[in-house]
C-alpha cells in the first residue's frame, strides 16, 4: 500500500493518491490532472477510481477531466445529484483497490453529500480517514455553504451526529488526511499541519471535545466569516460539469500583438488582469489593469474580485502565462482572450501610456498625518485583523468588499487615501481597484500594518471602528 498527499499551498488544498497492487485511486483532484497521471505512470499503476468527498466550493475539481483521461469512475457519497455520469455510493459501500479497500462513511454537515473515505489496509485494519471538509486539523468544515434550504444550525447539528457516530468511534491511531490546511476559507481554526491522527484530534480539536449538541452548534457557527464570493460559482461548476481544461488553455495562451491587445482592451466585456509581482505592478502597469500577483493567494483573490461572466485579458511576467491561466482555471475561470506577447515590456516599447501606484514608507505617512486634514488611512485587512489592532481613525474596508461600488462611494471624494493591509500584497490589489474606478488620489503604504505598527509616529489602537 502506498499513500501520497499532493498539497497545493496557494489553495491550501490536499488531494490524495492511494495505490495497492498496481491499482490507484485519486481523492479530491484539482482541475489540472497531469500530476496524478504522471505519478501513476511513474509507479506503473492504473488509476481505477476517482473519489470525491463532496462538491467543493473553493476550487474546481479535476474529476471529470481525470475520468475522461483514465476511464475511471467518479464516485460520490449518498444523495449526490450531478449533470454528468457518476457512481453514487451508499453509506458503508466498500471499494476494493488491489489488496486494500475504501469504505464510504456518509458524514453530512459541511454539505449534505459530504462523505469520508476510510482506508483499510491489507489485513482489513482501519488505516486512514480521508475526511474532506468534514474534519480538519483543529477544526471542522463550515456549515453555512449551500445545501438546500437548511440553515447553518441544522447543518451543524448534522455535523455533530456525523462526527460522533462515524468518526470519533475510530481508533486513535487512524491517520487523518483532510482536504485543506491553514489558510483555507473552508474552516475558521485550522492548524498548520496537513495530517494528524484521530486520537490527536480527540485531544486537541475544539469541535471534538465533550459537549452537548447545542453547545457544538453554537461553537461551530459562531464567528464564521462571510464565504468568499466565488464559492457558490465553484460548487455549481462541480455539480454541473465544465469544459475540458485543454481547450481553455489553448484559448487563453494565445500571444497577442500590441494592436490586437489594445483592441480587446477597449471592449466592455473584457477585464484586464496583471499577474506580475505586486511591487513590480505598482512601479508601472497598463492603465485600467487589476493587479493580483502570483506570489500571493492569487487564485482566491481573483475568484473573489473578478467577474466570471467577462473575458480575461492577461499581462504576465514572460514565462508565467501558463501558470497564471492554470491557477485561474482552478477556481472556475474559463473565458479568456489571450495575453500580451512579451508582457508589460511590450507595452512600454510601443510608448503607450503607463499608470503606477505611489508607494510610501510608514515614516512618510507619519510625517503627512499632522499636516493633511484630508488624509484618510484605509485598512483593507479583514474585520478581525482590524479589530485586533489598527491605526487610530483608520477606516476599514476589507479587500473582498471593494468590488461593491457602494463601499468606495462612502469615502469622501476629496480624501487623500493611504492604503495598507498586513504586508503589502492586498493593498496593491486594492489600489488597482480604486484607480480602475477613477479614484487616483491613493498611496500604498509599504510593508503594511506590520511596518506601520513599528513607526513611533503613528498611533494605533485595538478599538474597532468599521465603516458601515
Higher pLDDT, 104 or 407: 104
| Sheet architecture: strand order including 395-396 | 358-360, 442-445, 416-420, 375-379, 395-396
Q: What is the pLDDT of residues 194-231, one digit of tens each?
A: 999 999 999 999 999 988 999 999 999 988 888 888 99
Q: What is the pLDDT of residues 2-46, one digit of tens each?
A: 999 999 998 999 999 999 999 999 999 999 999 999 999 999 999
| Residues paired with residue 180 on neighbouring β-strands, in sequence order | 13
> Dihedral sign, CA of 315, 298, 398, 425?
negative
Question: Do the beta carbons of residue 340 and residue 314 sit within 8 Å?
Answer: yes
Question: Which distant-in-sequence residues (6+ apart) come within 8 Å of 430 by Cβ?
Answer: 378, 380, 399, 402, 419, 421
Intrachain domains 2-232 and 244-349 with the same fold: no
**In terms of CATH, what superfamily is 358-461?**
Rhodanese-like domain (3.40.250.10)
C-alpha cell at 23: 491499482
Compute the distance between CA of residue 167 and CA of residue 177 in angstroms, rounded to an integer: 13
How far is CA 386 from its chain centroid? 21
What pLDDT shows up at residue 147?
A: 62
User: Has residue 459 got a pLDDT over 80?
Assistant: yes
Using an 8 Å Cβ cutoff, are 157 and 225 in contact? no
Domain ranges of the chain: 2-232, 244-349, 358-461
Question: Looking at the whole model, is its pTM more than 0.85?
Answer: yes
- On whether the 244-349 domain is CATH 3.40.1190.20, my answer is no
Task: Enter the C-alpha cell of residue 306.
Answer: 473578478
Q: What is the mean pLDDT of residues 225-240?
A: 92
Q: How confident is the model at residue 294 (pLDDT cuts 50, 70, 90)?
A: very high
pLDDT at position 263 over 90: yes
Residue 74, pLDDT score: 98
Domain 2-232 class in CATH: alpha beta
Q: Is 318 exposed, middle or buried (CB count within 10 Å of its CB: 0-12, 13-18, 19+)?
A: middle
Q: Report residue 9 CA to chain centroid gap.
A: 10
**Cα(78)–Cα(113) distance, rounded to whole angstroms?**
6
Q: Which of 131, 270, 269 is nearest to 190 (CA)?
A: 131
Which are the contacts of 330, defined by CB distance < 8 A and separation ≥ 6?
11, 30, 31, 32, 59, 60, 299
Span 141-184, pLDDT tens digits: 999 886 668 899 999 999 999 999 999 999 999 999 999 998 88
CB 245 within 8 Å of CB 31: yes
Q: Specify the range with the lowest mean pLDDT, choosing from 113-117, 178-182, 265-269, 401-405.
A: 401-405
Query: Across all residues in the chain, what is the average pLDDT?
Result: 95
| pLDDT at res. 159 | 97
Q: Which of 145, 290, 308 is nearest to 225 (CA)?
A: 145
Amino acid at each position: 500500500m502506498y499513500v501520497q498527499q499532493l498539497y497545493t499551498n496557494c489553495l491550501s488544498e490536499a488531494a490524495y493518491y492511494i495505490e495497492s497492487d498496481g491499482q490507484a485511486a485519486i481523492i479530491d483532484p484539482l482541475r489540472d490532472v497531469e500530476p496524478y497521471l504522471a505519478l501513476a505512470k511513474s509507479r506503473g499503476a492504473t488509476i481505477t477510481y476517482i473519489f470525491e468527498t463532496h462538491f467543493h466550493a473553493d476550487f474546481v475539481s479535476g474529476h471529470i477531466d481525470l475520468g475522461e483521461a483514465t476511464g475511471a469512475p467518479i464516485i460520490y457519497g449518498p444523495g449526490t445529484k450531478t449533470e454528468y455520469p457518476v457512481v453514487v455510493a451508499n453509506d458503508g459501500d466498500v471499494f476494493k483497490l488491489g489488496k486494500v479497500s475504501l469504505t464510504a462513511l456518509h458524514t453530512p454537515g459541511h454539505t449534505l453529500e459530504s462523505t469520508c473515505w476510510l482506508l483499510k489496509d491489507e489485513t482489513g485494519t482501519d488505516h486512514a480517514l480521508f475526511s474532506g471538509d468534514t474534519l480538519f486539523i483543529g477544526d471542522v468544515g463550515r456549515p453555512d455553504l449551500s445545501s438546500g434550504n437548511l440553515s447553518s444550525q441544522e447543518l451543524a447539528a448534522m455535523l455533530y451526529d456525523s462526527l460522533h457516530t462515524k468518526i470519533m468511534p475510530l481508533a486513535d491511531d487512524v491517520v487523518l488526511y483532510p482536504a485543506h490546511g491553514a489558510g483555507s476559507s473552508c474552516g475558521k481554526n485550522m492548524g498548520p499541519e496537513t495530517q494528524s491522527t484521530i486520537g490527536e484530534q480527540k485531544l486537541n480539536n475544539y469541535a471534538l471535545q465533550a459537549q452537548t449538541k447545542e453547545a457544538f452548534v453554537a461553537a461551530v457557527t459562531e464567528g464564521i466569516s462571510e464565504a468568499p464570493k466565488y464559492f457558490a460559482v465553484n460548487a455549481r461548476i462541480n455539480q454541473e460539469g465544465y469544459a475540458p481544461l485543454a481547450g481553455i488553455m489553448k484559448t487563453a495562451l494565445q500571444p497577442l500583438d500590441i494592436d490586437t491587445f489594445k483592441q480587446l482592451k477597449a471592449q466592455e466585456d473584457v477585464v484586464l488582469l496583471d499577474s506580475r509581482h505586486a511591487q513590480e505592478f505598482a512601479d508601472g502597469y497598463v492603465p485600467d489593469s487589476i493587479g493580483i500577483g502570483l506570489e500571493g493567494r492569487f487564485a482566491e483573490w481573483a475568484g473573489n474580485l473578478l467577474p466570471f461572466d467577462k473575458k480575461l485579458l492577461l499581462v504576465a511576467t514572460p514565462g508565467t502565462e501558463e501558470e497564471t491561466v492554470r491557477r485561474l482555471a482552478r477556481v472556475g475561470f474559463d473565458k479568456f482572450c489571450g495575453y500580451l506577447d512579451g508582457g508589460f515590456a511590450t507595452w512600454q516599447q510601443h510608448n503607450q501610456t503607463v499608470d503606477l501606484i505611489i508607494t510610501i514608507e510608514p515614516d512618510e505617512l507619519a510625517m503627512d498625518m499632522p499636516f493633511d486634514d484630508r488624509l484618510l488611512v484605509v485598512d483593507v485587512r479583514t474585520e478581525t485583523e482590524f479589530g485586533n489592532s489598527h491605526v487610530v481613525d483608520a477606516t476599514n474596508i476589507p479587500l473582498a468588499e471593494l468590488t461593491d461600488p457602494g463601499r468606495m462611494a462612502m469615502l469622501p471624494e476629496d480624501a487623500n487615501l493611504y492604503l495598507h493591509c498586513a504586508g503589502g500584497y492586498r493593498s496593491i490589489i486594492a489600489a488597482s481597484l480604486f484607480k480602475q474606478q477613477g479614484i487616483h488620489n491613493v498611496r500604498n503604504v509599504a510593508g503594511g500594518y506590520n511596518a506601520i505598527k513599528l513607526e513611533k509616529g503613528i498611533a494605533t489602537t485595538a478599538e474597532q471602528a468599521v465603516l458601515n
